[in-house]
Structure 1
Amino acid sequence: MALIKKRLNRSLPVSLMLFLFLALFGAFMALPLVYAVNNAFKPLDELFIFPPRFFVRNPTLDNFFDLAAVMGDSWVPLSRYFFNTIVITLFGTVGHIILASMAAYPLAKYKFPGSSAIFRVVVLSLMFSPHVTAIPNYMVMSRLGWIDTHLSLIVPAMAFPLGLFLMKQFMEQLPDAMLEAAKIDGASEYRIFWKIVMPNVKPAWLTLLILQFPVLWGTNGGDFVYSEELKTLNYALQQIILGGIARAGVGAAVALILMVVPITLFIISQSNVIQTMSSSGMKD
């Protein structure tokens, strides 16, 4: 049976109006980012001018130099805050993707006693706010002796239930015939998981990457980390802002630094997600 492709014909004026609407909407969504970038390069007199100016008139790098000076006077250097944030974000995000994927694979492709009950518990846990589970999490971390360590932030992030739910839903779409063919060819379960399953659910774990990375990148340690040398970059930003209006420029510079990494990762991952989603349709 021949496939009949239908093309949606639009007139040039309609296409132009649609393009202008999307461009206007995209520009509006980008306004907060543009404003943050401009604030980072504003001198203090422009930061507190009224009415506020959206664009910087006299750009300067003094905010970044003041940031280096402020952190240079601290007994914990800025690089240490960066290192702590990178460690927490990297291990928490990668561990979450791997753990969620390995837990979702048997739930999606194997039927064993209790599998449905386990998945129902996972779905039920999505209904609880993090504020509700804060005290139980603290008690668990305290019993394990992980308070005032990075493990108290990394391990709970790895066990976030949304990842397991999302990965299971994606893995269920994989055709069983493809996995059976790999088993017939002699592939082990680990080889099937890493060589077949994970590449074909790339949209799912890229989505998890986009969702989990900003959360961990913006964490300040909360009630789990107390030592100054273990604090994160977001904590340093909060302390700088508490310095008063004289630190407003430095705070704007740190805010820009905190924004650059997640936004860059989002832009890169978004293109990959769109590409893989458009080409990963599979039917059994």
Structure 2
Amino acid sequence: MTGIRTKRLSRSWAGDLILFALLAAVGYFMALPLIYVINNAFKPINEILKFPPDFFVRNPTLNNFTDLYYLLAGSWVPFTRYIFNTFFIVIIGTAGHVLIASMAAYPLAKRKFPGKGILFAIVVFSLMFSATVTQITNYMTISWLGLLDTYWAVIIPAIGSSLGLYLMKQFMEQVPDALIEAAQIDGCSEFRIFWNIVMPIVKPAWLTLVIFSFQGLWNAGGAAGAIYIYSEQLKTIDYALGQILAGGIIRTGPSMAATLLMLSVPILIFVLSQSSVIQTMSTSGMKE
């Protein structure tokens, strides 16, 4: 009588402890910039200007936030208007970018047509150029379309970013062709195959794209708004805070509070989406 021996993996408690300590040390090191920003937001002005600076706050205060509130309340444009402008640009730009990039990536990944390789090569080459290189061309295009001083001057370039198309195309190529062929045999239309079959499978890709697009628009809204948008009623939070806090050293405290508030939203979006990305990436692998 013969038996099959199975190899059992085991780790000692000492190895687990060392691994945990190593991961904790690396995680703490990566979190240091965020911890420093949080501490600076609650420091009084004398601790902020101290040299060498203290990493942790010694006498925490909320004066930086109250001063920021009074500065924003004194603006002739209501701060709620800046909030609306920012979220409108970010939400519409992110949703449009994910949708357009996914719809364009589907035929590039799963259909054969003349010029497919050339089109994808153009997409890849476009990733080599930074936004600074194409800034003049983008401005001329937006001006020619008559979109200057509108929300769409910031939204349209974000929707047309080639990064999302490249990312979605690479993920969609992993979808089994047999699955799409079976759906076609069942009588599914191309849009239904794309929306009900392909998009759920590539959920990790478009969730990741949502994070990248949201963070990019949230952080670049002020710079883009300064170039394309001139009306104060259409400015974003980032630009408004930059103008209000450009008042010299006396406003250093409110600027620290504003930095924390601006960072909190992208971090919250990332934290809420990270678990979904990890979960879907671990369960969405499919092979022919």
TM-score, normalised by the number of residues in structure 2:
0.94
Query: Separation in 2 of the partners of 1:143 and 1:5?
Result: 70
Matched, 1:174 2:156: no
Matched, 1:257 2:258: no
Which residue of 2 is the match for residue 236 of structure 1? 240
- Which structure 1 segments of 5+ residues have no match? none
| Equivalent residue runs for 1:4-23 within 5 Å | 8-23=9-24
Query: Separation in 1 of the partners of 2:233 and 2:255?
Result: 20
Query: Separation in 1 of the partners of 2:32 and 2:6?
Result: 39
Aligned-partner SS, 1:265: helix
Displacement of 1:268: 1.6
Which residue of 2 is the match for residue 135 of structure 1? 136
Contact 2:43 2:61 (8 Å CA) reproduced: yes
Contact 2:226 2:239 (8 Å CA) reproduced: no
Task: Summarize the Cα distance change of 1:18–1:182 in structure 2 as closer, same or farther, 3 Å threshold.
Answer: same
Which residue of 2 is the match for residue 245 of structure 1? 249
Contact 1:147 1:225 (8 Å CA) reproduced: yes
Which residue of 1 is the match for residue 153 of structure 2? 152
Displacement of 1:186: 2.0
**Once superposed, what is the RMSD of the aligned Cα atoms?**
1.5
2:276 aligned partner, one-letter code = N
- Which structure 2 segments of 5+ residues have no match? none
Contact 1:237 1:255 (8 Å CA) reproduced: no
Task: Summarize the Cα distance change of 1:9–1:45 in structure 2 as closer, same or farther, 3 Å threshold.
Answer: same
Query: Separation in 1 of the partners of 2:45 and 2:8?
Result: 55
Q: Deviations over 1:52-106 (max 9, x none)?
A: 1222222222211111111111101222111111111111111100000000001
Matched, 1:28 2:36: no
Q: Tell me whether 267-276 or 156-165 shows the greater mean CA deviation.
A: 267-276
Task: Summarize the Cα distance change of 1:174–1:6 in structure 2 as closer, same or farther, 3 Å threshold.
Answer: farther
Q: Percent identity?
A: 60
Query: Separation in 1 of the partners of 2:152 and 2:33?
Result: 33
Query: Separation in 1 of the partners of 2:6 and 2:156?
Result: 50
Contact 1:240 1:250 (8 Å CA) reproduced: no
Which residue of 1 is the match for residue 45 of structure 2? 44
Q: Tell me whether 77-86 or 164-173 shows the greater mean CA deviation.
A: 77-86
Contact 2:215 2:266 (8 Å CA) reproduced: yes
Which residue of 1 is the match for residue 190 of structure 2? 189
**Count of residue pairs the alignment pairs up:** 281
Which residue of 1 is the match for residue 99 of structure 2? 98
Q: Deviations over 1:143-162 (max 9, x none)?
A: 00111111011010011101
Aligned counterpart for 2:277 among listed residues 267, 273, 277: 273
